Amino acid sequence: MEIWELGAVELAAALRARECSAVEALAAVLERAEAVADLNPFALRLDERALASAIDADAQLAAGEGGPLCGVPLTVKDSHYMAGVPTSHGTRAVPPYVPAETVTAVRRLEAAGAVIFAKTATPEFCYAGTTPGTHNPHDPTRTPGGSSGGAAVAVAAHVGPLALGGDGGGSIRIPAAFCGIVGFKPTFGAVPREPSSQGWKTLVAYGPLARCVADARLMFETLAGEDPYDRHSVDVNLKGTVPFTFAAGADGPISGDGNLKGTVPFRFAACDTLGTLDDEVRAAFRNVCAEVGANDDAPNLPNNAATWAAIATAEARWADAEAFASPELGRYARSFLEAGDAVTAEAYIRAQMYREEIHRAYAQLFERSGLLLTPTVGCEAFDASLAAPPTVPDWGAYLFDANLAGLPACAIPMGRGRDGLPISLQITGPRGADGAVLAAAEHIEELLHVARYV
């Protein structure tokens, strides 16, 4: 197996055993990046910085030192602040911003010895569920999703085993689903994200994209932990040791005893009334539920896309007022900000207050049945050139509640759809039960034999 084919756990072990060097691993990944350059996953390459990090990692490893990611090459999203490194926000509407400080999450990766070799592409200001100009590795005519689209493409194309993404409304889980990899949105605050841009302060969670759950867990355990400089940061349960059951809610009950060995209550609500599901997505989803003995249950909430949109567009309009004034702002980003203009103060406050009802409904669901299973998105990756692509509130209806209530949610592959492209399962759990969600995801991954899916 080539170095660039190794997962993060495998590569970290090989580096620790001195079966390869960090410099060799970086060279292999950069060579792979050139081989798939047409996919355009990067906003900025950091080759020289990465080489210095790799040399330092080799010195630490030679001394028997270094953290859990020592020498492992990975990427971070363009929107994540790194001191002295420009972030373009995917736009020409404002000059690139060069932060003076590095975000805590990235500092933790570097402290663990990770070799950051690129910042990954996003749509303008991370507003969209697609990433224009970046191509899906399974079919370059299809969207990779967004806004962590470049991150997912890099991982799916084996350009580094890990990527740090950000998820304010599905932005880790959408591209993970469309690119056939694992994407984990942690409990809100589990991964500190300050300093960061001003918008979406109560929506965005930073988390890993990987080719298997074990790799995502390795990265998450490196990232997680309270930060005194981030008032939203919290400690979460990385382990989870209580037996769980599954609950399902497509459009009918699915039999099964729901008794599996694992870690914390675990449930599934696949209410297809929230949005459309392709037939193949529904069939694959039902197969998973039958495999794990899921029981029918749901949070009994409507599609909360409008609640999310009221908060997200209003905050974006305030945070990115300078860009809104620029004629260089793209059409989609402009329409997003214009939507924020239409959100009254009363509508914004009502949306924020409604988050309490969402949280309560999910807490009751988790108490009744355990963790929740849903499709991640309702379709395969669609044609990137569509003049009027399907709207996110329709195919992405299962995404928003995890952001509004701050819940951990993990997307994993569950097969292929009508066009032979990946389709995805989502596992959602109570706030703080991140270890349980990952344990359940790894259990289902094993049952479905989808590790190393791409």
Tell me the H-state helices in 137-278.
149-156, 173-179, 213-223
Give the amino acid at 387.
Answer: A
Tell me, yes or no, if 239 is annotated catalytic: no
351, two tokens: 């949306």
Give the amino acid at 205.
Answer: A
Q: Considering 147, 196, 369, 424, which one is annotated as catalytic?
A: 147
**Angstrom distance (rounded) from CA 445 to CA 428:** 15
80, two tokens: 């994540």
**Angstrom distance (rounded) from CA 126 to CA 323:** 13
Q: How many CB atoms lie within 10 A of CB 212?
A: 26
Residue with token string 């675990």: 266
Q: Which of 200, 154, 203, 205 is nearest to 176 (CA)?
A: 154
**Angstrom distance (rounded) from CA 409 to CA 377:** 13
Report angle CA 399, 403, 407 to the nearest 5 degrees.
100
Q: Which of 30, 97, 110 is nearest to 320 (CA)?
A: 97
Q: Considering 21, 77, 119, 424, which one is annotated as catalytic?
A: 77
Q: Considering 53, 88, 171, 197, which one is annotated as catalytic?
A: 171
Q: Decide: 68 and 12 in contact? Cβ < 8 Å.
A: yes
Q: Decide: 237 and 186 in contact? Cβ < 8 Å.
A: no
Report angle CA 344, 345, 346 to the nearest 5 degrees.
90
DSSP bridge partners of 246: 371
Q: Decide: 371 and 428 in contact? Cβ < 8 Å.
A: yes
Q: Decide: 167 and 149 in contact? Cβ < 8 Å.
A: no
What are the phi and psi torsion angles at 319 (to 5°)?
Answer: -70, -30
Instruction: Return the DSSP state at 186.
Output: P
Give the amino acid at 395.
Answer: W
Tell me, yes or no, if 77 is annotated catalytic: yes
**Angstrom distance (rounded) from CA 194 to CA 226:** 12
183: three-class secondary structure by DSSP:
strand
**Angstrom distance (rounded) from CA 414 to CA 399:** 17
Tell me, yes or no, if 147 is annotated catalytic: yes
127: Cα separation from own chain's centroid? 14
| End-to-end Cα distance, the chain | 15
Residue with token string 């932060």: 99
The residues assigned a catalytic role are: 77, 147, 171
